[in-house]
Structure 1
Amino acid sequence: MSKAARWLLGVSVAGLMLGDAAWAQQAADPATDSDVLQEVVVTARRRAENLKDVPVAVTAISADQLQAQGSVNLTDLEYKSPNTTVQVARGSNSTLIAFIRGVGQQDPLWGFEPGVGLYVDDVYVARPQGAVLDIYDVSRIEVLRGPQGTLYGRNTIGGAIKYVTRDMTDQPTANARVEIGSYNEHNVILSGSTPLSEKFAIGGAVAIYRHDGYGHNLYTGADQYNKDVVAGRISAEFKPTEKFTIKVAADQTNDMSNAKSGHRETATPAGAAPLPDDYDTMAGVGDHNFVTNRGMSLTAEWQLSDQWLLKAISAYRDGYTQTNIDFDNLPQPYLDVPAWYKDHQFSQEVQAVYAGERLQGVAGIYYMDATAAGAFDTDVQNLGLSILTSGSVKTKSIAGFTDLSYDLTDDLKVSLGGRYTNDDKTGSVYRAYYLGIRSPMFGGKQQAPFSIRTNYTNDRSFGEFTPRASVSYKLTPDVTGYVSYSKGFKSGGFDMRGDAVLTPDTVKGYNPETVDSYEVGLKGDYLDRRLTLNLAGFYADYSGQQVTTQVPTATGIASFVDNAGASHIYGLEFEAVAKLTRQLTAQANVGYTLAQFDKFLSYDLTSRQYVDVANTRGFQNTPKWTTGFTLSYLLPFDDKSTLNSSASVSYRSFTQLYDTASILDQPGYTLLDLNFIWTSADDHWQVGLHAKNLTDERYRVGGYPFGGATYANSFAAYYGPPRTITGTIGLHF
């Protein structure tokens, strides 16, 4: 018996000894005036199902839960879902970095594919820029852990995050919310919908988020870590018949927050001590930053019969970013990077959903046509030059998929699925050296490059079949166990930073990576639906691992994207929700991940050979332990109003920010939140108070390691939010 099989068998036995477990956290707000936990419906398998029947690791969080716990944006998910990391990318305000079970992508440069897929109402968001979505007008968020390659396709080898917006109702509704808090925070969120006739309804939402910086740029005087975001969404629903519905939606987000620079964790070249405040900087590259993201979608549903539903999703999205990144975080341009990115994508998906007495399933085709492009300067004062890098990646992806579940008996079910994906990519990369600071593209003097390092266009195709299989069995009417296998696929591509002089093979691009994942789990409710316990185990073989490395050299910076890694990952996930009394509810989640490299090939610029350095490398953004605990108490008053109080504590163990250990690595830390929400008897008014990071813990969520005198020995860190206290007033009618 293999190591993986022995380990999974051990987890299964342990789960049976504990009695049972369920994978997913309850999506309905557990802090309600009820004796039992509410049933949950999710769409993790592209069709509506009771969460307890889904053999997939899912954490589903409702809008009520998110609001009750003061959640602001997607980064709060890492404290509510085990073995999950969701953060703002280093040097950014709204670029998403996501890892699940050790799998993700830290480098958000255009053309690089994420390892965790983000979906807004079943529309795949291909680019990470502007993807740290603020939570407004949302129905629920689902976190699907483990490879989702069959139903969700490419670039979901770690998992998927589904942001599900609020449906319109057959009655007019309106919501208004004002938030005022620390650092001059002042937010306004408005949303509503109304039917204009029996067959047509419209809705919309707008959100304005603003707060001052947590720190300052002591060189320019600008705010650091401030927020200036305007977001909006409009939608319409047309139902010409009872069996045919068309939904149209459009959204746009503009982020005008200042460029965010890091805090030097090392002394300046003159020997001065590091800045005392972790949110301060002395960066001189400039404070301008602008990110816009927008999209449109059309979803048509046709109920052909009681068993068959036909669904078509057409979508277009584009985005643009203009920013400045100061790697040295000093007034001088030791290592400054002004940059712009842009992208656009069109996607079309058609699904046929079947719901029979014993057979259920979905089959479909998916097509995407996308282009991601950008350019940046690397200004290096000590070398007296600027390195211009520009290029684009065009992707055409087509896939066919099916996923079927069959009830062999009332208790025994099997599910089989498969997807074949084909990506055709065209990569164009240009890299050149210019004398002086700033190339002509970024405002430097007009001149020819003195050295062209890279100038190519190349085409490659990548294809992969990603199957899924599971068997589930009801041990009792309330207890279900399952075993499953799934495969994930992340497409190959081209390194937009590649230097063809230092690394000639860069013109060939890099290959895909895959994950084979095995899971066991047990699901069940106890004590007449007053308790749900969760225990599951997973084992994954990670192959062809794409590793991004940037190495300072005497004449610039060498970049590599190699299929350098092979590894194995295994772990446990535990979740629990308990109705201790009618008013008192407890929630807990615990994640454990052990990820180890079996092979890590590093390119030696001197010998021009690959060397296996697996014993000196570690997984990035993958703490061994993630835990969260929330205790909620609902206090009813004589006038029928209620006060919902909750205290949340979360812990993340030591986290390595890069595969190579450095002073940027984050020791284990604990965060404490307190929340209070009063709701009127008629549900029209809410008043809340939210204290986040109550102990004012300082913790790193990203960084840049560029040692050496040429780059001013810069190890720069980016920190999570400090203690904030926010008051809210909401009106609903």
Structure 2
Amino acid sequence: MKQPKFQKSMIAAAVATLLGSPAALAQQNEEAEVDEGKLERIEVTARRTNESLQEVPVSVSAFGEQELEQSGIEDITELQFKMPNTTFQVSRGTNSTLTAYIRGVGQQDPLWGFEPGVGIYIDDVYVARPQGAVLEVLDVQRVEVLRGPQGTLYGKNTIGGAMKYVTRELTGYNEFEVKGTVGSYNQRDLKVSGQTALADNFYVGGAFATLNRDGFGEFVNTGDENYNKELMTGRLNAKWLVNKDINVKFAADWTKDDSNSRGGHREQESVLSDEPRLTDVYDSYTAMPTWNEVETEGYSMTVDWAINNDWMFKSVTAYREGYTDTNIDFDSTVNPVLLVPAIYEDDQTTQEFQFMYRDDRMDFVGGVYFYEGEACGVFGTVLGMLGLTIDNGGCVDTSSQAAFGQATYHVDDQWSFTLGGRYTRDEKEADVYRYTYAGVKFLDRNDYAADPIAVNSDFTTKADWSKFSPHASVSYQANPDLMFYASYSNGFKSGGVDMRADVSINPSARDPYDPETVDTYEIGVKSEFMDGRLRANLSTFYSDYQDMQVTVQTAVPTGVSSQVLNAADSTVKGVELESTFAATDSLNFTGSIGYINAEFDEVAVFNPTTQQVEDVSNRWSFANTPELTANLGFNQEFNLGNGALVWSGAVAYRDETQIFEEPSPLDEDSYSLVNTSLVWYSNASNWTVGLHAKNVFDEEYRLSGYNFGSTFGENIVTGYYGDPRTVSLSVGYRF
């Protein structure tokens, strides 16, 4: 019987004590051939070509299909507990909108038209919007997370890093897999996937999942479920081997999320309602309908052509679109104090051409990239107690072109030098409107006066920017098991227009804001010891951010005043250590630790009350960026007569976290989560049974929220929380 092989990482402090020198987390590649007891070679595509994780001068974590299965990972947000200096979370009152931060940089506000700081990729296709980006684990081969600016090879908006969701490769073999899961809160999941060959040179495959769960709580005054899950997702693939040198891949994916919109937990007593503050953080009140709809779909075609022994060509053509229709009750009371119905729509068309060259001394990848996208939306700010409604909407069209190249020259078997750069040109045109109406009005209603009582904004503006992002690195392979590297990377997040602009309060809000930029310097070491049983990778980095885009929302009597300014400079520095230790042939330890020191040097913002520009850097701290993150895990394999049993467990620690840049009652204290799993594999490896317990000690921890104080006559401080303790049982069959 071929037993599954496992690996994870030992806590950094232990490794540092053992080694004195360091190195990085690696996950398994199930297809790798390894010597008994040694760690497996991990293949990643961090530099747009297949390389060993230990040879890439980049801070990258990789999670293979088997690792995800053994841990019971259901979506990508759970990976934040396995990596240093990383935050992947569900955004506030949503179910499938992603809040992603790496090394202090991300996107706090998921408004349409705003750009993320962490790039999300499905295979080689960039996903521009966070709506629907909480990707479920389905038909996945590997997830890679790259930390630090990736502007040269991945482009704009990867200023903090990038995440690559790599789907299974079609092989032409007949495969079929079905997995059913039941669990806490009436969890009922079904996943089906498979592939086959329709001809010797044409393969097809697909996957489908329906994921359902009752709510962790309820909307007390309506009886509707809160924090429930009702989602379907699917994927279809085809691969055509045109000849021995050319193959064409087709892919289509779609997701439909009909889970209820989430209700927040009131952190303070209401001053307008008699209802008491609820003790269960998953229960809520609402004055809105709780229905919610999120749909995304994407299509792509990839052409790979081996021109000759040295040159490769790749073309990636893709289209994606998304639609969101949701309701968010900011105050979470039975009164219509601050209600926000919202509709988002977006689409994007991308084309990338890549050329790759490789010989004994030189590796090169370069090409051109084109992006055309439109993001539109409208949301209402319903101030029912004041008898006012503000509608805010518009569209932003983006056209982007880039040319890039990166080459690595191997001087000898030890020294390598890399130089690269990317030139990007962005053009944006946006129209923004903001109207104030008397009375209560929802987006799908017409029971109000047709004419607004005030036009707060109604303008069109456009701007363009160009940026060159260089990269340079040097690596030294001291011996086959020890590599040192140093790198410099520049990245940027694209400029834009504040889609909430209220020029009646702040006339300059109509002006486009510029890109923000970063210069990052990194030194690292990647190493293996003890005859390949211990892998430890360490990196230390220093980042200098300029013209950071600061989104400031200030509650005023007539609504919320918003502004986005290039108003901040900051310094971010830190250390990351990831490690894996094969203690025996059947027992592995894994772990990581991350420390980050992020400080604002200057933050100049406009105060709509005083009409003055103020430096608030002494009050601000980085959001969603705990100073210390760590995890420690293990897995133990037991050989049984009828198969193999794998017992795994992990504890993850996150330090105190500030939810917004300004301190608020929502800020979360440090906490630790414990997960454990038992997975049984049959001798023939066709049956699997998994028992997974997450948040074993039922830790209560806040992820996000809204903080508007008492501006509207009500204490609006509402929080959204991570999942409580859950237990699930999965049974899978494959052939």
Give TM class, smaller chain. Answer: over 0.9
2:479 aligns to what?
A: 476
1:578 aligns to what?
A: 581
CA displacement at 1:383 relative to structure 2? 2.3
2:547 aligns to what?
A: 544
Matched to 1:248, the amino acid is: F
Aligned-partner SS, 2:151: coil
After superposition, the Cα gap between the structure-2 partners of 1:638 and 1:15, relative to the gap in structure 1 and judged at 3 Å, is closer
CA distance in 2, matches of 1:32, 1:626: 31
After superposition, the Cα gap between the structure-2 partners of 1:544 and 1:332, relative to the gap in structure 1 and judged at 3 Å, is same
After superposition, the Cα gap between the structure-2 partners of 1:539 and 1:37, relative to the gap in structure 1 and judged at 3 Å, is same
Alpha carbons 1:229, 1:253 under 8 Å: kept: yes
1:559 aligns to what?
A: 562
- Pairing of 1:341-352 with structure 2 (within 5 A): 341-352=344-355
Aligned-partner SS, 1:323: strand
- Find out whether 1:400 has 2:378 as its counterpart: no
2:730 aligns to what?
A: 728
CA displacement at 1:51 relative to structure 2? 1.1
CA displacement at 1:16 relative to structure 2? 12
CA distance in 1, matches of 2:82, 2:561: 38
- Find out whether 1:382 has 2:385 as its counterpart: yes
CA displacement at 1:442 relative to structure 2? 4.2
1:420 aligns with one of 419, 423, 436: 423
After superposition, the Cα gap between the structure-2 partners of 1:433 and 1:465, relative to the gap in structure 1 and judged at 3 Å, is same
Aligned-partner SS, 2:499: coil
Aligned-partner SS, 1:382: coil
CA distance in 1, matches of 2:687, 2:396: 49
1:467 aligns to what?
A: 470
CA displacement at 1:31 relative to structure 2? 14
Aligned-partner SS, 1:151: helix
Alpha carbons 1:20, 1:523 under 8 Å: kept: no
CA displacement at 1:15 relative to structure 2? 8.4
1:28 aligns to what?
A: 29
- Pairing of 1:584-663 with structure 2 (within 5 A): 584-639=587-642, 641-663=643-665
What RMSD in Å do the two structures reach over aligned CA positions?
1.7
CA distance in 1, matches of 2:445, 2:480: 66
Aligned-partner SS, 1:157: coil
Alpha carbons 1:120, 1:163 under 8 Å: kept: yes
Aligned-partner SS, 2:152: coil
Alpha carbons 1:117, 1:125 under 8 Å: kept: yes
1:274 aligns to what?
A: 277
Alpha carbons 2:301, 2:317 under 8 Å: kept: yes
Alpha carbons 2:671, 2:701 under 8 Å: kept: yes
Matched to 2:191, the amino acid is: I
1:168 aligns with one of 156, 161, 170: 170
CA displacement at 1:549 relative to structure 2? 1.3
2:56 aligns to what?
A: 54
CA distance in 1, matches of 2:713, 2:567: 26
1:510 aligns to what?
A: 513
1:80 aligns to what?
A: 82
Report the TM-score, using the length of structure 1 for normalisation: 0.96
Matched to 2:138, the amino acid is: Y
2:122 aligns to what?
A: 120
Aligned-partner SS, 2:712: helix
Alpha carbons 2:102, 2:118 under 8 Å: kept: yes
CA displacement at 1:273 relative to structure 2? 4.0
Q: Give a deviation string over 1:654-692, Cα, whole Å, max 9, x none.
A: 000000111100100000001000000000000010000
- Pairing of 1:22-421 with structure 2 (within 5 A): 22-28=23-29, 34-269=36-271, 270=273, 273-421=276-424
Q: Give a deviation string over 1:318-356, Cα, whole Å, max 9, x none.
A: 010000010010111100001100000000000001111
After superposition, the Cα gap between the structure-2 partners of 1:629 and 1:443, relative to the gap in structure 1 and judged at 3 Å, is farther
Q: Give a deviation string over 1:172-218, Cα, whole Å, max 9, x none.
A: 01111000000000000000000111100100000110000000000
CA distance in 1, matches of 2:399, 2:78: 33
CA displacement at 1:304 relative to structure 2? 0.4
CA distance in 1, matches of 2:691, 2:428: 50
Q: Give a deviation string over 1:430-471, Cα, whole Å, max 9, x none.
A: 001000011565444242001001000111001111111000
2:501 aligns to what?
A: 498
CA distance in 2, matches of 1:234, 1:703: 37
- Report percent identity of matched pairs: 44
After superposition, the Cα gap between the structure-2 partners of 1:562 and 1:379, relative to the gap in structure 1 and judged at 3 Å, is same
Aligned-partner SS, 1:66: helix
Alpha carbons 1:225, 1:260 under 8 Å: kept: yes
Aligned-partner SS, 2:295: strand
CA displacement at 1:609 relative to structure 2? 2.1
Alpha carbons 1:481, 1:521 under 8 Å: kept: yes
2:11 aligns to what?
A: none
CA displacement at 1:272 relative to structure 2? 5.3
1:708 aligns with one of 710, 731, 735: 710
Alpha carbons 1:32, 1:634 under 8 Å: kept: no
1:6 aligns to what?
A: none
CA displacement at 1:239 relative to structure 2? 0.4
Alpha carbons 1:328, 1:711 under 8 Å: kept: no
CA distance in 2, matches of 1:32, 1:469: 33
CA displacement at 1:602 relative to structure 2? 2.0
Runs of 5+ unmatched residues, structure 1 = 1-13
Matched to 2:582, the amino acid is: K
CA distance in 2, matches of 1:25, 1:614: 38
Matched to 1:124, the amino acid is: Y
Worse-matched range after superposition: 556-565 or 253-262: 556-565
Alpha carbons 2:34, 2:41 under 8 Å: kept: no
CA displacement at 1:515 relative to structure 2? 1.0
CA distance in 2, matches of 1:218, 1:441: 25
After superposition, the Cα gap between the structure-2 partners of 1:332 and 1:32, relative to the gap in structure 1 and judged at 3 Å, is farther
CA displacement at 1:126 relative to structure 2? 0.4
CA displacement at 1:703 relative to structure 2? 0.3
Worse-matched range after superposition: 358-367 or 602-611: 602-611
Q: Give a deviation string over 1:532-561, Cα, whole Å, max 9, x none.
A: 012110000011111111111122211111
2:531 aligns to what?
A: 528
CA displacement at 1:18 relative to structure 2? 4.0
Matched to 1:511, the amino acid is: D
After superposition, the Cα gap between the structure-2 partners of 1:24 and 1:588, relative to the gap in structure 1 and judged at 3 Å, is closer
After superposition, the Cα gap between the structure-2 partners of 1:510 and 1:674, relative to the gap in structure 1 and judged at 3 Å, is same
CA distance in 2, matches of 1:19, 1:48: 30
Alpha carbons 1:20, 1:479 under 8 Å: kept: no
Matched to 1:514, the amino acid is: T
CA distance in 1, matches of 2:450, 2:191: 49
Q: Give a deviation string over 1:477-526, Cα, whole Å, max 9, x none.
A: 21000000001110010111110111111111111101110000001111
Worse-matched range after superposition: 81-90 or 606-615: 606-615
1:693 aligns to what?
A: 695
Aligned-partner SS, 2:199: coil
Aligned-partner SS, 1:671: strand
Aligned-partner SS, 1:183: helix
Report the TM-score, using the length of structure 2 for normalisation: 0.96
Matched to 2:262, the amino acid is: K
After superposition, the Cα gap between the structure-2 partners of 1:17 and 1:570, relative to the gap in structure 1 and judged at 3 Å, is farther
After superposition, the Cα gap between the structure-2 partners of 1:566 and 1:506, relative to the gap in structure 1 and judged at 3 Å, is same
Aligned length, in residue pairs: 720
CA distance in 2, matches of 1:444, 1:62: 54
